[in-house]
Amino acid sequence: MSTVTLRRLVTLSFALCYVLLGVPLWYRLTTIYRAPLPAEYIESLHANLHEDIHLTIPVYVQSDIYNFPDVCDAIQRQADELLQSADEHQRKVQWSLQILPFKEGETDPNNDHVVKLVLDESMGLTIPQLTKETIIFFNDESLVNNDLPFFVAQALIEHTFKIEWEHFSKYHQNSVKSDSKSRNMAVNYDPNIHISISLLTGDAEPIAWDIDATLREYFTPIRDLLSPLVNFTVDTGIEYHNDLNLHSLSNAEYVSWNDLSHTLDLSDLFSVNHYREQNSINLAIVFPSVETGSLAFINETGNGIDWKSFLVPQWGVVVINKDPLPTNAYITNDYLADVISTFAHDIFKLLGLSEVAEDMNSPLVRIDSFKRKVIIDNLEKSVTTLSSLVSMTNHLQQMSIPREVLEDVNNALNLRLQIVDLLNNPELGSDEIWNEALRLSNRLVKICERAFFHKEMVQQTFFPQEHKIAVYLPLLGPITVVTFTAFFKSLKEVITKSKKEDGKDGKADDKGQKAE
């Protein structure tokens, strides 16, 4: 075999390897996998938010004196008319009451919403603490005038479920302002929240306190009450030589909250306390130093309390004491009980459960309403996250969509349908069902966020197409040029040689014909 032939075979083998092996391999390595997301369905959900949801709250009517055969139907008609006063197009979600008769042995007064009708001299209502009962007082005149059904419906919508109805209907402008004010005060909702309790003093004298026993007695009941909503983890600690910069106000006789907000230095507490939860609620109990002395702006009340608590929006509570601690001080349970009780009351505001104390007629009713509010907010947040994911992938066509993202999206959509089925079934309106729906909605939010912030997609965002060209061109350019230059040169030589041989054969044929 000649050298020229060998060179041509080598060139051909390189070209074939380039085309048959190199090109498929390059295509495989550079092709971006984009899983097919259900974009149209997600955009439809986002455009028609909560359209497939109809919250129905079962309410049971109980009467121990009179037997009203049609009172439930009459109350239902009045309730429906009151709810129709709000424009359906302005409602955040469809919300209604289902009035049912109280059945002894089947209805649970501790878990179900019950309206108890009580005969009295005049009409009125009350919502007892730590129950889900709404007690309606009526007289014989209200029966004669048929006023009782309307009064019961009005009491349920405008008192028992007032906050929930106003939030979902968007009908009352003041409810929107109230909800905005509550959000500005409350921390962002999370199923796991850390409680940090710190005792701070401006001196270095040793301090002892019986905080564990106080928490078990006064905070554990609140912790158990709120356990369906949020899981609290608690830590306590004592910090010396830190009065949150209160020594600068030692001579002030009057300090407004605005002055105090510009003086308090809470940064040290953030660096001292470490926790895994994303959100926290703090309680700082501050004593001035002996050098600072008594704080004149803390006025002692008539019941002997010489401290004052301040609510810090989206942070927690600061308790400022008037006088410094004595040497070798022991913080008694009597003092801590008042502080922890006040803090437990303020937790409702910091969670967004109550804007002011008067709002909380019944903590159990308010907690139930807050559950449903969080469930709907979680559903809205999850659909918005999925819609943002679809918009981002449509905008960035070179972004990969891994199979794990598709699995998370499908799981999220199936989980949403499961939650909607729970919400739309009035026969399932028990505490266990609302708790299950809340748990699933919290899980739904995490799945959607995991899909949106998938690490491969985040990395792809910072590696655009221009960078790929800049990486691959220096590698592929020289190889392509050398391979195809040699291939075309060899091909040209073969073609030229073939033409010469054809020319020689043609001349030989002509000579043969002349000789004949």
For 226-253, the pLDDT digits (tens) are 998 999 999 998 888 877 778 787 777 7
Given 437, 461, 485, which residue is the final one in a domain? 461
The answer to whether residue 274 sits within a structural domain is: yes
Which conformational region is residue 96 in: left (phi greater than 0), alpha (psi within -120 to 50 degrees), or beta? Answer: beta
Alpha-carbon dihedral angle through residues 440, 441, 445, 447, given to the nearest 10 degrees: 20
Domain span at residue 366? 39-50+361-461
Q: Rounded distance, CA 317 to CA 342, Å?
A: 9
Residue 512 domain-assigned (yes or no): no
- What's the rounded mean pLDDT across residues 490-497? 77
How far is C-alpha 170 from the geometric centre of its chain's CA atoms?
Answer: 21
Single residue among 323, 351, 379 that ends a domain in this structure: 351
Residues 347 and 366 placed together within one structural domain of the fold = no
Co-location of 23 and 111 in the same domain: no
Q: Are residues 213 and 322 in the same domain?
A: yes
**Could you give the 3-state DSSP secondary structure of residue 97?**
strand
User: What angle, rounded to 10 degrees, do the helices at 162-169 and 363-395 form?
Assistant: 20
| Structure tokens given for 282 | 């703090």
pLDDT band at 389 (very low <50, low <70, confident <90, very high): very high
State percent of the chain over pLDDT 90: 29
Q: Is residue 504 part of a domain?
A: no
| Domains held by the chain: number | 4
> Is residue 356 situated within a structural domain?
no
Are the C-beta atoms of 281 and 243 separated by less than 8 Å?
Answer: no
Is residue 374 situated within a structural domain? yes
Give the count of beta carbons closer than 10 Å to the beta carbon of residue 268: 15
Would you mind telling me the total number of residues written for the chain in this entry? 516
User: pLDDT-derived band of residue 259, with 50, 70 and 90 as boundaries?
Assistant: confident
| Residue 183 confidence (pLDDT) | 62
Same domain, 249 and 261: yes
Same domain, 141 and 263: no
94 lies in the same domain as 142: yes
The first and second tokens of residue 417, run together, are 């349908």
Is residue 502 situated within a structural domain?
no
Same-domain pairing of 393 and 486: no
CA gap 292, 288 in Å, rounded? 6
Question: What's the token pair of residue 499?
Answer: 């033409």
Per-residue model confidence (pLDDT) at position 91: 76
In this structure, is residue 516 part of a structural domain?
no
Question: Is residue 446 domain-shared with residue 371, that is, in the same domain?
Answer: yes
DSSP per-residue codes, 429-479: -SHHHHHHHHHHHHHHHHHHHHHHT-HHHHHHHTS-HHHHHHHHHHHHHHH
d(CA 56, CA 45): 21
Residues 469 and 453 in one domain: no
Residues 198 and 347 in one domain: yes
pTM, whole model, 2 decimals? Answer: 0.80
φ, ψ dihedrals at 329, nearest 5°: -75, 150
What is the average per-residue pLDDT within 435-455? 93
CA–chain centroid gap for 330, Å, is 41
Residue ranges of the alpha helices (H) in 17-157? 23-30, 39-47, 71-83, 140-144, 148-155
- Is there a single domain that holds both residue 12 and residue 152? no
User: Looking at the structure, do residues 234 and 368 belong to the same domain, yes or no?
Assistant: no
pLDDT band at 376 (very low <50, low <70, confident <90, very high): very high
Q: Is residue 247 part of a domain?
A: yes
Q: Are 238 and 207 in contact (CB under 8 A)?
A: yes
Alpha helical stretches, state H, 188-332? 211-214, 220-225, 257-263, 267-272
Q: What is the rounded average pLDDT of the residues 3-30?
A: 74
What is the residue-averaged pLDDT of the chain?
A: 82
Q: Which residues are CB-contacts of 404 (< 8 A; sequence separation ≥ 6)? A: 454
